[in-house]
Amino acid sequence: MNRLETALGKIVLKNPVTVASGTFGPEYGNLFDLNRLGAVVTKTITLQPKEGNPPPRLYETPSGLLNSIGLQNPGLEYFVNHSLPQYLELLSQDGADVTPLIVSFSGASISEFVDIMIRLESVDGIAGYEINVSCPNVEKEGLSFGVDARAVYELTKELKKNQKSMRELIIKLSPNVTDIVEIARAADEGGCDSLALINTLLGMAIDWRSGKVHLKKGFGGLSGPAIKPVALYNVYRVAKAIDIPILAMGGITTWQDALEFFYAGARVVAIGTANFINPLSTIEIIDRLEGYLKNNSSDLDSLIGTVKI
């Protein structure tokens, strides 16, 4: 019996631990077998190559990490021709032992998102799409898609309309909003299959000696244990309000953290910044979760969403 088996909508996972987009790549295959993971999520790709932001791009804060990478990536075609084959060489696609690959992508307009998805629809080996909406929408004066319920609804609807495959359509939500449930509802009504939350919280750091900002861009996304309570609360609220599978992330560092998110209503958890604290944390979390469930003669499914208030 596999106590850890779970599902994110149509994607069946052998265990509930995946990785947060941006913190992980095939390079980790030099440290452990990527097939130990429940699923793998790629770094966000965009239609055209993206240069990224000027350095410094990282700054560590108490229990947190600020980053402003700027979605640096070699673009969709490079991904399809180079990165994807590299992943598929490492990930088992064998009927009984599949490690699903979820591709994260982002666009500056709805049509750009749709174009990327249509290109990805033409290649094999992808189990789902994670839609990164935390980027400026050029059609709405650069306002981030993710903070605009109407834009999230329209984007989701257009993607669903143009999607021919059965791949899981996951919308990744930003916490930098007044009411995340409103955005989650918009995505749900637009027809997405599941939700991923939370993306990073916006923050900044200033050097008190010089008065200068630590990140060249001035601000960035905060991740790491510092944001865990925020993530947990957002997951709890969305899970309570909407009946939709949730892929949770935000500061998950230990197997106990992961359990808390399952109680809050997550079906799958993603490890992000913890990969930098310990590059083997995903594997350790999977093993310890299994041990815990075994000791308690329990399984994951029976505790999801059962938080006691």
Partner 1 sequence: MNTTKKEYSNVQVKQKIRLNKCYFLLETENHQTSPSAGQFYLLRPEREQNSILHIPVSIFDRTENELRFLIKIVGVGTEALGELITGDRLKILGPLGNGFKITEGKKTLLVSGGIGYAPLYLLKKELMYAGNQVVCLHGGRTTEDTFEADLTCTEDGSSGLKGMVTEYLLKFLEENAKSREQQFDMIYCCGPEKMMQAVYLLASRFDIPVQVSLEEYMACGMGVCLGCAVKVRTDEEKKEYKTVCNDGPVFPANKVVWDE
Where in the sequence numbering do the catalytic residues fall? 135
Residue with tokens 């993971």: 37
Nearest distance from residue 134's CB to partner 1, in Å? 17
Closer CB to partner 1, 87 or 236, in the complex = 87
As a whole number of angstroms, the distance between CA 81 and CA 35 comes to: 22
Residue 275 makes contact with partner 1 by CB under 8 A: yes
CB-based contacts of 133, cutoff 8 Å, min separation 6: 106, 144, 145, 146, 151, 152, 155, 171, 172, 173, 174
For residue 37, state whether it binds partner 1 (rule: CB under 8 A).
no
Smallest distance, partner 1 to C-beta of residue 121, A: 26
- What is the C-alpha to C-alpha distance for residues 37 and 32, in angstroms, rounded to an integer? 10
**Cβ neighbours of 114 (radius 10 Å):** 17
Which structure tokens are listed for 293?
């469930």
Is the Cβ of residue 171 or residue 283 nearer to partner 1 in the bound state? 283
* Of the candidate residues 37, 39, 69, 304, the single one contacting partner 1 (CB under 8 A): 69
* CB-based burial label for 191 (10 Å; 0-12, 13-18, 19+): middle
The binder of partner 1 chosen from 8, 11, 15, 22 (CB under 8 A): 22
Residues 158-197, mask of contacts with partner 1 (x by CB under 8 A): ----------------------------------------
The tally of CA atoms less than 13 A away on the side-chain side of residue 206 is 5
Nearest distance from C-beta of residue 64 to partner 1, angstroms: 7
* CB neighbour class for 88 (10 Å; exposed up to 12, middle 13-18, buried from 19): middle
Q: Minimum distance between the CB of residue 246 and partner 1, rounded to whole angstroms?
A: 25
Looking at 5, 7, 10, 56, which residue binds partner 1 (CB under 8 A)?
A: 56
Query: Would you state the torsion angle of the CA atoms of residues 89, 46, 133, 39, taken in this order, to the nearest 10 degrees?
Result: 0
User: Which region among 7-15, 93-101, 136-144, 270-278 touches partner 1 (by CB under 8 A)?
Assistant: 270-278
Q: Which of 23, 99, 163, 194 is the binder for partner 1 (CB under 8 A)?
A: 23
The answer to whether 305 contacts partner 1 (rule: CB under 8 A) is no
* Number of residues engaging partner 1 in binding (CB under 8 A): 36
The verdict on 224 binding partner 1 (CB under 8 A) reads yes
Asked if residue 67 binds partner 1 (CB under 8 A), the reply is yes
14: number of CA atoms within 13 Å, CB side?
18
- 296-309 burial code (b ≥16 CB/10 A, e <16): eeebbeeebbebee
Interatomic CA distance for residues 148 and 57, integer angstroms: 27
Is residue 52 within the footprint of partner 1 (CB under 8 A)?
A: yes
Does 9 help bind partner 1 (rule: CB under 8 A)? Answer: no
Residue 292, interface with partner 1 (CB under 8 A)?
no
Comparing CB distances to partner 1, the nearer of 30 and 178 is 30
Residue 210: how many CB atoms within 10 A of its CB?
8
- Indicate the length of the chain as a whole number: 309
- Of 60 and 182, CB closest to partner 1: 60
Query: Both tokens of residue 203?
Result: 């923050």
Cα–Cα distance for residue pair 165/172, rounded to 1 Å = 19
- My answer on whether omega of the bond before 286 falls inside 30° of 0, hence cis, is no
Does residue 31 belong to the site contacting partner 1 (CB under 8 A)?
A: yes
Q: Select the span of 65-73, 120-128, 202-210, 297-305 touching partner 1 (CB under 8 A).
A: 65-73
Site residues for partner 1 per CB under 8 A: 22-28, 30-31, 43, 51-60, 62-65, 67, 69, 72, 86, 224, 273, 275-280
